[in-house]
Amino acid sequence: MNSLVLSTITRILAPLLLVFSVFILLRGHNDPGGGFIGGLIAAIAFILISKAEGRRQAMVALRVRPLSIAGTGLLMAIVAGFWGLIAKGAFLKGIWPLIVYNADGSKGGLPIGSILLFDLGVFLVVIGGVCGIFFNLEKAVGEDTD
Amino acid sequence: MTLLISPIAIPLLTATLCLLLRDSRAAMRVVSLLGTFALAYAGALLYLNVETAGPISAQMGGWDGPFGITLVADLLSATLVMLTGLVGLFVVIFGYSDLTFGEERNGHMVFAQVLLAGVCGAFLAGDLFNLYVWFEVMLIASFGLLVVGGKSIQIDGAVKYVGLNLIATTAMLAGIGLIYGASGGLNLAHLHQLLDGRSGEPAVLMAAALLLFAFATKSAMFPLFFWLPAAYHTPSHTTSTLFAALLTKVGVYTLLRVFTLVFDLQHPLIQSLLWVSGVLTLAVGVFGAIHEVQARRVLAFLVMVSIGIMTLGMAAGDVAALKGTLLYLMQTLIVTAALFMAVGCVAYLSGTERLDEMGGLWRSHPVVGGLFVLVMLGVAGIPPTSGFWPKVVLIDAFASEQHWGLVIAVALGSLGTLYAVMRLFSAAFWQEPKAPLPGLMLDFNRAAPMTALAVLVVGLGVSAEFLIQVADSASASLMDPKLYVERVLGARE
């Protein structure tokens, strides 16, 4: 599709969507959001690029092949599970290495740990999975009409 | 903890590695072989542990039951996980020769490992909702496995398969919702306490009906069996073997688990449903197997015969009949895998799957013929093979409860099965072939797993004591799940 409007808007929207997806991913820690919905939003960005500039351009923007992204994400989620098993003896148990307990009993530091790793894994699985399916469908349709 | 997680985590990890290494066929093969070997090993360790220490349970993320994600293994699930690992190992080796390059490149190994994870997850799940999740995992993986070949007949089979199974899982979800609304719990052990004495309530009965519908579809009982003969003959022999050995058995397992722990298997309504459905499944299976001319369609109907017999065992519902059912469940996993693999070998050697075009293999491949006879006896339930004992136990149980109709049904079913496999055998080995045989020899990757499974079929028949003991104590703990509940929820109540 060659539409000047679409490709101009995409150039503005795609980076915004990607930033927003990371925001949603991190927001999911305590509020509605998280890896799944964040991944879907990120996938929308790449699908938008492929609609405006073509599938090849979207693949270039993604840099890595979609299924490899999904595989990496799955690996991260499994590693997050084993992290809990090894450190605390329960599979998928949340581990917070950067949280510090102050003298007055309050918590400080950064809430970054195995949960974020798991969510990041989900994020990547969704991006990879959705983009992989979409690009393959796009390819099949393209072969039919060409 | 590790024991319970590894049967799920190992295949998932293997699938991930296969996905990342998908450019190299050799690397995928090595990884999936090592992963499945590790799964079989983990299954054996789990079995040994449960056999000595009784049921074990673990809570994911350290959130205690009944609200956390619970994994439980009692003797029945541990044994089934062990057998799953074993069958998986043989199937992976068989696939080395049987799969085409395209199927491997399109991710057969990834999907196969995800399927193994789903099956083990369903065997180990301790609450209804996770059971549903593992069913979905299995469904997605089996859809992938059905279509990796990319032929239109495979897509056709896959659409029927997924269509009916999707309806079943939706019904299951609705049933789970009803149960949660009626009782406020999802954990199986917790539900056992919550629903104690409430089996007659409309909401509970409705939920039971929905779950029965879902599990009956999964295990291909009459009248919900259409997906099975429609799909099982379309993919590669490797995929057919994996499906036939594992998928319907998961349905039977969950039916047994949920309808002893949560619902009442001996409720007259459920009993009569299982009675009718069992007899009709058996009849459709036998007639279909006698009628079909395509080898794997015959086998698909033979799978239905075994499901029918197990349904009848559940319909009788007392401890002795359940013992027979469990024994049948465990041995049929091995026997079905052996049968599908043997037919895979025969189809490879004769270059066709149609019974009227096969023939003449006895002259060129007498050893394969001998192994086929062993497997065939196992399916029909004739000594010295493993198929014999569960039928003895079942018929004994039916006779002692005066269920003469069930005795006759099982006997006629066995006779029909024998006829169907004899027909298969004489077509493939004795009949004069229409066209000259391709003159192939079996390679190691096909011959070794088939031989191993055939030996196992006879070995489990000769030393039947092992499985009979497992079935004995597993059926006792199904009927009296006190220890199971205690190990999941702790002894606090």
Q: What is the pLDDT of residues B160-203, one digit of tens each?
A: 888 888 899 999 999 999 999 998 888 998 898 888 888 778 88
Q: With beta carbons less than 8 A apart as the criterion, state whether B447 and B321 touch.
A: no
How remote is the C-alpha of B199 from its chain's centroid? 28
Residue of B274, B336, B335, B341 lying closest to B309 (CA atoms): B274
**Residues linked to residue B354 through DSSP beta bridges, in sequence order:** B294
Q: Quick: pLDDT tens for B68-97.
A: 888 999 999 999 999 999 999 999 999 998
How remote is the C-alpha of A39 from its chain's centroid? 4
Q: Quick: pLDDT tens for A47-93.
A: 999 989 888 888 899 899 998 999 999 999 999 989 988 888 888 88
Q: What pLDDT sits at residue B493?
A: 42
Q: Dig out the tokens for B164 from the structure.
A: 């009916």
Total Cβ atoms within 10 A of residue B120: 33
Q: What pLDDT sits at residue B339?
A: 94
Residue of A nearest to B11 (CA): A78
CB contact under 8 A, B62 and A93: yes
B70: enclosing H helix or E strand: strand B70-73
Q: A95 touching B, CB under 8 A?
A: no
Q: What is the DSSP letter of B353?
A: -
> Is the per-residue pLDDT at B284 higher than 50?
yes
Helix (H, G, I), strand (E, B) or coil at B354: strand
Helix (H, G, I), strand (E, B) or coil at B74: coil
A61, exposed or middle or buried, with CB in 10 Å at 0-12, 13-18, 19+? Answer: middle
Q: A71 touching B, CB under 8 A?
A: yes
What percent of chain B has a predicted confidence (pLDDT) above 70? 99
> Is the per-residue pLDDT at B318 higher than 90?
no
Q: B267 touching A, CB under 8 A?
A: no
- In angstroms, what separates the C-alpha of A17 from chain B's closest C-alpha? 27
Q: With beta carbons less than 8 A apart as the criterion, state whether B71 and B423 touch.
A: no
How remote is the C-alpha of B59 from its chain's centroid? 26
> Is the per-residue pLDDT at B127 higher than 80?
yes
> Is the per-residue pLDDT at A1 higher than 70?
no
CA distance A109 to A87: 19
If you average pLDDT over residues B279-286, what whole number do you get? 93
**Residues linked to residue B127 through DSSP beta bridges, in sequence order:** B187
CB contact under 8 A, A90 and B19: no
CA distance A109 to A104: 14
The length of chain B in residues reads: 493
Q: B62 touching A, CB under 8 A?
A: yes
Total Cβ atoms within 10 A of residue A117: 16
One-letter amino acid of B317: G
CA distance B280 to A97: 60
Which of the pair, B317 or B273, is modelled with greater confidence? B273
What confidence tier does A143 reach under pLDDT thresholds 50, 70, 90?
low
Which of the pair, A2 or A80, is modelled with greater confidence? A80
Domain boundaries, chain A: 4-145
CB contact under 8 A, A91 and B5: yes
The length of chain A in residues reads: 146
Q: What pLDDT sits at residue A17?
A: 96
Instruction: Tell me which of B39-43, B229-233, B373-377, B434-438 is least confident.
Output: B434-438
Residue numbers in A near B20 (CB within 8 A): 68, 71-72, 75
> Is the per-residue pLDDT at B370 higher than 60?
yes
Q: With beta carbons less than 8 A apart as the criterion, state whether A84 and A93 touch.
A: yes
CB contact under 8 A, A70 and B19: yes
What confidence tier does A144 reach under pLDDT thresholds 50, 70, 90?
very low
Out of A75, A84, A93, closest to residue B16 by CB: A75
Inter-chain CB pairs, A–B, below 8 Å: 49
> Is the per-residue pLDDT at B136 higher than 80?
yes
Q: In 3-state terms, chain A is what percent helix, strand and coil (to 5)?
A: 75, 5, 25
**What does the mean pLDDT of chain B come to?**
90
CB contact under 8 A, B60 and A92: yes
What confidence tier does B302 reach under pLDDT thresholds 50, 70, 90?
very high
CB contact under 8 A, A78 and B1: no
Q: What pLDDT sits at residue A142?
A: 63
Residue numbers in A near B15 (CB within 8 A): 74
Largest interatomic CA distance in chain B: 72
Residue of A nearest to B23 (CA): A68
Q: What pLDDT sits at residue B17?
A: 93
Specify the long-range contacts of residues A20-26, CB closer than 8 Å, at least 24 apart. Answer: A21/A45, A21/A123, A25/A119, A25/A120, A25/A123
Q: A75 touching B, CB under 8 A?
A: yes
Backbone angles phi, psi at B242, to 5 degrees: -60, -45
Q: B140 touching A, CB under 8 A?
A: no
> Is the per-residue pLDDT at A146 higher than 60?
no
Residue numbers in B near A82 (CB within 8 A): 9
Q: What pLDDT sits at residue B212?
A: 92
Q: Quick: pLDDT tens for B203-239.
A: 888 999 999 999 999 888 888 888 888 888 889 999 9
Q: What is the DSSP letter of A101?
A: E
If you average pLDDT over residues B366-389, what whole number do you get? 90
CA distance B168 to B176: 12
Out of A70, A82, A88, closest to residue B62 by CB: A88
Q: Quick: pLDDT tens for A4-31.
A: 999 999 999 999 999 999 999 999 888 8
